Amino acid sequence: MVCCALLLLALPCAAAAAKLAVNEPAPDFALKSSTGKNLRLSEYRGDVVLLNFWTQSCGRCREQLDRLESLFQAHRNTGFMVISVAVVDQPRHAQEIADRLNLSFPIWYDERKAAVQLYDPRTMPLTVLIDAHGRVREIHTGYRRGDEATYAEQLLALLAEE
């Protein structure tokens, strides 16, 4: 009986994890951004996108955001975009962090947890590289100092495909 209950609990998790897969289309969503506009992920088709999910309480996330800003500045004119999804209840808290870090890429606010449900991160941050055709090409969970070198290498390979 207990085994059946555990199995039933595991099934939704396995189904949720199947939502995000390498070489599959990136799930599309629209959120309000730091510019005040509602933006949709599919509007960036044609660019390589680094999609990053984070929370305000995640220290590693803040460290990663700072490194992503450097990556964005180095490649912003090459068909590359960073989209940062703050999974927060109050957008102003995320915006305060973005302002403190001087982030120039857009922050999207996932107050209702709609996008995070599509991408189902097991840990934060979640970083997803999406190719110019809208397919998920790389999935990174968590962050360790130096991961941005891997992102840069993968980004350059995706930019070279076009």
pLDDT, mean of residues 15-41:
85
Dist. CA 115–CA 85, nearest whole Å: 8
pLDDT at 80: 97
What beta strand segments (E) does the chain contain? 30-33, 38-40, 48-54, 80-86, 107-109, 126-130, 136-141
Query: Closest Cα partner for 85 from 45, 131, 117?
Result: 117
Dist. CA 145–CA 92, nearest whole Å: 27
For domain 2-161, the CATH class is: alpha beta
Compare 35 and 54 and report the one with higher pLDDT: 54
Distance of CA 36 to the CA centre of its chain: 19
With bands split at pLDDT 50, 70 and 90, how would you rate the model's confidence at 1? very low
Dist. CA 2–CA 110, nearest whole Å: 36
- Would you call 90 helix, strand, or coil by DSSP? coil
Question: Residue 85 forms beta bridges with which residues?
Answer: 53, 108
Asked if 26 and 128 count as a contact pair (C-beta separation under 8 A), the reply is: yes
| Token pair 């660019």 in the structure block, residue | 47
pLDDT at 7: 28
Query: Closest Cα partner for 51 from 74, 80, 24, 75?
Result: 80
With bands split at pLDDT 50, 70 and 90, how would you rate the model's confidence at 162? low
